[in-house]
Structure 1
Amino acid sequence: MGLIRTTPPRPVDVTAVFPELALLARPAMRLHPRPGSPAVRDSSVGGPLLWPAREPWPHCEDAHLHVDTGFRQSPTEVRLQRRLQSRWRPDDRPPVFTPEEEALKERNAAWLAARFDAGPPRPAECPVPMLPVAQLFLRDIPLLQPPGQADLLQILWCPYEHEPDAKPSTALFWRTAAEVGDILATPPEPYEADYPGYVPEPCVLAPETITEYPNSLDLSPELQLALDDWDRWQAAGIDSYYAEYPREFYSTHLGNAPGWKVGGWPPWGRTDPYPRYCAVCEAQMVPLLTIASWEWDGDQGPSWAPLEDQAAAAASHYAGQDPAQPTGVEVGSTDNMQMYVCPTSPKHPHTDLIQ
């Protein structure tokens, strides 16, 4: 993989200030998705999947209440609109489609018209083809722990919100890439998406291994009190900006990394931490993948934005051009979707949580 992204060194060695955190260190792999043209044999976000031609494409069988929110568009429309936004002109002239985009737009319009003329039930009322979210090969993401001889993880979701948690439903597949013969050339696509943020933009990856420490909410009460001791931070040379809330420095710059990642520590914020247990064997589940709305936010930009993106992170951006949102994905209120798996058996159902 030719793309490289490098997380800047942390502003301070947290284990030098708080040695008690050393035992809580975990490896994680930041995926650093960036817009591109991944192929079926590439690790990607929102790219094509290495899917066997003879294997049925996953569909969401849940009931989908069709409520016209005014946001729903086909995946093709969502991506075309993003292309136009990315070509915003400073003189306020509207951007124009390229000939290829015009042809794609016409094909999409014809496909939509044919769907309407044929009179089938709207996908909100019938099984909905799922959209690719991530494809991760073990060769690129060695932190994965696949079952048996598997070396490929594929994750899809339904681009509709589902009750009671108002989030897309997800599907997870492990497979052995070498066993895939004929590849499904044209996977089915959903008629529409509930929201543009549920249509991932095709992205290539630049995986990077880092060391993470827990979100401050995951720490014991004793460690949380220790993080509030400004004297220890001051001795380490931390700016007095954080003197009133020292723990904020840890949470912003030293704990768990933002963005798409495999492994590591889960993000919290929407709720306090609580363990996730397998519905089959009751084992405590472990973090697999974080699906992020942002690679970094305004406060974290100088700290977590990769060195290669620092200049872009410091610039002003318009809709569709923010480097902190390369995938176009937004879950929850620009939150994260954390996926968990059972450590005892890959056959046990996974679970996910918005945070």
Structure 2
Amino acid sequence: MDLVRTTPPRPLDVAVVFPEIAPLARTAIRLHPRPGAPSVRDSSVGGPLLWPADEPWPHCESTGHWDSGFREYPAAARLERRRLVRLAQDPDGPAYTQEEAAAKKRNDAMLRERLDSGPAPAECPVPLLPVAQLYVRDVPLLRPPGQADVLQVLWCPYDHEPEAKPSAALIWRCAAEVGDVLAVPPEPYEADWGASYVPEPCVLAPEQITEYPNTFDLSPELRTLVEDWSRWQAADAGLDSSYEEWPHEFYDAELADAPGWKVGGWPPWGRTDSNPRYCSVCDAPMAPLLAIASSEWDGESGSWIPYEDQGVASAGRFGAWDPAAPTGIQVGSADTMQLYVCPASPEHPHTDLIQ
């Protein structure tokens, strides 16, 4: 994979300042999705899947779709994103190029035909949208069952009651067993939240890092250590006095779990306290598999911006793209959807949580 992203070293070494926390270190792989043109043989976010031509495409059969009151045809959303990028780069250009106008006409006609031909789209079995495809060769932290070497994640592009989040499907497969590939997968009529569940095709730059638990995952004793201002002063950590009352905020934002799309590591918390997940089959504590993030960084996690993105990040928006939100996805209120799997058996049902 040619794309490279490099996370700067943390402002200080947790294992040195808090050796009591060192045993809790976990490996994570930041995926660093960036807009591109992945193929079915690539790891990607929102890219085409290595899907057998003779295998039925998964659909959501649920009738509990949350009506957000605002939906958009996925192809129309992608077209509009790219049109805005073009206009940002060439403000004097036409509102629509001939190619864009033709595509918009086709999209509008297709949507009208679909809407006029049957029941309300949300009441139909809804084709799932590709979210991610991860090859073990690129993300060795994955632990697939049997001979599988690729993980495919899809979801329904509608919020589901009562949690108001998309329903995801996880599929493991062996790439060598796929012959003819499905050329044109079905797409849903519409997607929720202004198509914020429609990811832009992105290539990946997997990077292995070390993470430590958020303070919500620390024991009361370890949390007390992190909140001890004298401990930070003794370590000469360079924190200014603004953190004196809440040094744990620095720890959580700069030293614990990384923001953005990632595999493994520690889960992000903040919207709720730590909420461990347990397998519905064997009651084993479930492990974080994939973080589907609304953004790669925010105002509180700027030190996590890869070296290669710091120039564009400091300049703000690049064209019509927010460099911190390359996939175009937004879950919840700019949150992260964490998928969990059973460490005893990846074939047990997964679960998820938005933080």
TM-score between the two structures when normalised by the length of structure 2: 0.95
1:75–1:193: 8 Å Cα contact kept in structure 2?
Answer: yes
Is 1:223 matched up with 2:235? no
For residue 20 of structure 1, give the secondary structure of its aligned residue in structure 2. coil
**Matched length:** 352
5 Å-filtered alignment, 1:237-316, equals 237-240=237-240, 241-301=242-302, 303-316=303-316
Aligned to 1:236: 236
- Which stretch has the larger CA shift, 173-182 or 72-81? 72-81
Aligned to 2:13: 13
Distance in 2 (alpha carbons) for counterparts of 1:53 and 1:203: 23
Aligned to 1:174: 172
2:66–2:158: 8 Å Cα contact kept in structure 1?
Answer: no
Q: CA deviation at 1:319?
A: 8.4
Distance in 2 (alpha carbons) for counterparts of 1:312 and 1:345: 42
Distance in 1 (alpha carbons) for counterparts of 2:269 and 2:66: 31
For residue 178 of structure 1, give the secondary structure of its aligned residue in structure 2. helix
Say if 1:91 and 1:76 are closer, same or farther in 2 by CA, change over 3 A: closer
TM-score between the two structures when normalised by the length of structure 1: 0.95
Q: CA deviation at 1:6?
A: 0.2
1:266–1:287: 8 Å Cα contact kept in structure 2?
Answer: yes
For residue 28 of structure 1, give the secondary structure of its aligned residue in structure 2. strand
Q: CA deviation at 1:77?
A: 1.2
Distance in 1 (alpha carbons) for counterparts of 2:342 and 2:89: 51
Aligned to 1:185: 183
Aligned to 1:328: 328
Distance in 1 (alpha carbons) for counterparts of 2:56 and 2:77: 25
1:89–1:95: 8 Å Cα contact kept in structure 2?
Answer: no
Q: CA deviation at 1:126?
A: 1.2
1:66–1:125: 8 Å Cα contact kept in structure 2?
Answer: no
Q: CA deviation at 1:89?
A: 4.1
Give the AA of the match of 1:48: P
Deviations 1:94-151 (A, max 9, x none): 863333333322221221132234x211220110000000000001001100011100
Distance in 1 (alpha carbons) for counterparts of 2:271 and 2:162: 16
Say if 1:52 and 1:89 are closer, same or farther in 2 by CA, change over 3 A: closer
Aligned to 1:73: 72
Say if 1:188 and 1:287 are closer, same or farther in 2 by CA, change over 3 A: same
Distance in 2 (alpha carbons) for counterparts of 1:216 and 1:47: 35
* Structure 1: runs of 5 or more not aligned: none
Give the AA of the match of 2:251: Y
Distance in 2 (alpha carbons) for counterparts of 1:162 and 1:145: 29
2:89–2:319: 8 Å Cα contact kept in structure 1?
Answer: no
Give the AA of the match of 2:179: G
2:61–2:124: 8 Å Cα contact kept in structure 1?
Answer: yes
Identity of aligned residues (%): 66
Aligned to 2:354: 354
Root-mean-square deviation (CA, aligned residues, Å) is 1.7
Give the AA of the match of 1:243: E
Aligned to 1:56: 56
5 Å-filtered alignment, 1:151-170, equals 151-170=149-168
